[in-house]
A and B are shown apart, each in its own frame.
Chain A
Amino acid sequence: MNGAGATFPYPLLNSIITKYSTNVKPNAKINYQPIGSGGGISDLKTKTVDFAASDAPLSASDAAGAPNAVHIPETIGAVTLAYNLPGVPSGLHLTGKVIADIFQVTITTWNDPAIQSLNTNVTLPSKAIVTVHRSDGSGTTFIFTGYLSASSSSWNSSVGQGKTVAWPNAPGGAIGSNGNTGVASTVNGTQYAIGYVELAYALQNGMTVAAVQNPAGNWIRPTLESTQLAVQSGAASGLPAGNESWTSVSLLNAPDANAYPIASFTYLLTYKELNVIPGMTQERATALVQFLWYVVHDGQDLAPGLAYAKLPSNVVQIDEATIRSLTFNGQQLPTT
């Protein structure tokens, strides 16, 4: 079985695949290539892979190119705001509007009243803010710019959401860096810089991260628990079935009082009727279904150890229904 797509869930998928093919199904040969969400979706459209992974759901035009594709939320991504301010520890208070203003350069210095008023007990330097963003197209950028668009109407109208966007040029400097590693290294090496990195990456590297205000008005630090809460409460409003469109699904600004506001699903994608994939056999389709079942069940136990948030039970139920609905030549396939 071959899969390709997003780099963000790769460490988790890779561990799951290794465990699955050594402990559970020694005959299973699963190959996942982290070539990026965009590459995964285009491979799904051309049917060169059995499954794809993407940080963003299929857009309307992608869905038209891959009819009857299903979404299987597989793990949860959260985006943290990491900064390098000498003497200021983790937990600087920021709101979505202030973050958008920083990246849109309406706020240009750290001791701007808009930041200082949120942090009355912190001494902020009067230094120009250096913004750091991803230079490569990335699902992290997609989630982050989605949050900025939701938080600031001026960001929404002038920049918008995308895997790559036209970043406004900060007077202190706007640096693009490659990958989470690049952004983290740039933030750590550049005083007065602020950038965004994936939660797993920030946790593993002990980065200095901001507490972001959620809709309930609380200052929430990014953790596995606060991210999981975002999914539980964000998903409470009713998620679509796996074969429907997920473009409107948003875990941003989840209602729970302790939920972290910048979270998002990452998805596994495949076809509802597996015989559309060239070379697919009954045996291979069964193996694929069983592997997907493993990913959303036992595979999730590997998540916390790798700093990923586990899927809450309501999402697992939707995934179960989706996986059960997969067919080969119209026939349902055994999940275990």
Chain B
Amino acid sequence: MIILLITGYTLTTGSVPVLQRFGSNFFFGTAWNPVEGRELFGALPYVMGTLVTSGIALLIGVPLSLGIAIFLVEMAPRALRVPVGYLVELLAAVPSVIYGLWGLFIFRYWMLHYIETPISTYLGWIPIFSGTPFGLDIFTAGTILAIMIIPTVASISKEVISAVPNSIREGAYSIGATKWEVIRYWILSYGRSGIFGAVILGLGRAVGETMAVSMLIGNATGPAAIPTSLFKPSQTMASLIANGFLEATGSLEVAAYIGVGLILLLLSLLINVVAHVMVSRLLKVKGGAIE
């Protein structure tokens, strides 16, 4: 808590010059020009880039993670459950820069040749698939993020699902529910606050991920970074800071990166607060069933 306050204070004071100079334009502007004498900084494209890549990560990652968790707990034979569970958790131990390197040298070409090029050829008329794909874009970055959040979301969901008491399953089966109905209506519903917590943890990782994203997202800046198509280069707040901060020269430029850091911190806090509120509301509605 104290560390959070100190961080917040430092980021706020550090970003004062840029906030004074640009005001709300810093939050809603789209230009990013650090050339001395022509400075213009707006953080909106990177906020959007962060939200879109994290959203893709959740869209792809959460269903897969739930599938893995349900399979491991409810369906897999005992001999398979432990080793596969370990393998999934092992994915969490891979450093993000390794995902980035693998993404840059191998995964990017798979995405380009087997997924993006066919989609762009046949569905290119849909605005979100427009543009020539290179494999270094929002879609690739979002997919790598999905792979990175799977171990977190899957292993927590696995614990949540295995914590569902057997009496619930037996009760459901006894009134004639099929396996699918038991999972869909009893188990997922019983464990939903826990699963929701797992998703939020995954989202937290996706929002803050830096290295792998900056290696794969194409690192556009300025209006070009606004995510209008999945096949366009963009930029997240974390990757923007990682890219630019070290060589930032003017004091205004440094303040701009610190300001983006402040927005990132606020966004993460907001996600946590929303998660907290949603979980407690769910608990209230289902008060009898969940403790």
Contacts and interface: CB of A to CB of B under 8 A. Distances in A.
A137 B215 contact: no
B197 interface: no
Contacts of B109: 189
B244 A182 contact: no
B248 A38 contact: yes
A335 B194 CA distance: 69
Contacts of B243: 135-137, 176, 178
B8 interface: no
Interface majority SS (helix, strand, loop, mixed), chain A? loop
B183 to A, nearest CB: 42
B233 A161 contact: no
A111 interface: no
Given A160-B38, A162-B34, A175 B218 contact: yes
Contacts, number: 114
A130 to B, nearest CB: 7
A41 interface: yes
Contacts of B40: 166
Interface string A73-109: 0000000000000000000000000000000000000
A175 B246 contact: no
B247 A176 contact: no
Interface in A142-187: 159-167, 169, 172-178, 182, 185-186
Q: Which of A138, A169, A173, A174 has the most CB of B within 10 A?
A: A173
A38 B246 contact: yes
Contact of A185 (B35, B105, B219, B248): B105
Interface stretch (B132-140, B262-270, B273-281): B132-140
B224 A36 contact: no
B214 interface: yes
A206 B40 CA distance: 38
A235 interface: no
A167 B134 contact: no
A21 interface: no
A174 B104 contact: no
A178 B36 contact: no
Contacts of A135: 214, 219, 221, 239, 243-244
Nearest to A55: B247
Q: Which of A137, A159, A160 has the most CB of B within 10 A?
A: A137
Given A164-B34, A167-B222, A175 B233 contact: yes
Given A160-B35, A160-B38, A177-B219, A169 B224 contact: yes
A41 B37 CA distance: 19
Nearest to B100: A178
A136 to B, nearest CB: 5
Interface string B117-143: 000000000000001101110000000
Contact of B215 (A35, A138, A161, A182): A182
A137 B246 contact: yes
B214 A162 contact: no
Q: Which of B37, B105, B131, B249 has the most CB of A within 10 A?
A: B249
A164 B131 contact: no
A137 B134 contact: no
B220 interface: yes
A165 B218 contact: no
A334 B149 CA distance: 59
B132 A186 contact: no
B224 A167 contact: yes
29 contacts: A35-B246, A39-B247, A59-B36, A128-B132, A130-B132, A135-B219, A136-B244, A136-B246, A159-B35, A160-B35, A162-B35, A163-B247, A164-B221, A164-B248, A167-B222, A169-B224, A173-B131, A173-B134, A174-B224, A175-B136, A175-B218, A176-B218, A176-B219, A176-B233, A178-B214, A182-B104, A185-B105, A189-B135, A190-B136
Interface of A: 35-39, 41, 59, 61-62, 128, 130, 135-138, 159-167, 169, 172-178, 182, 185-186, 189-190
Given A162-B36, A189-B135, 9 more contacts: A136-B242, A137-B34, A163-B249, A164-B34, A164-B253, A165-B35, A174-B220, A177-B136, A182-B104
Enumerate the 7 nearest inter-chain pairs by beta-carbon distance, A residue then B residue, closest first.
A137-B247, A176-B219, A135-B219, A169-B224, A166-B33, A162-B35, A36-B246
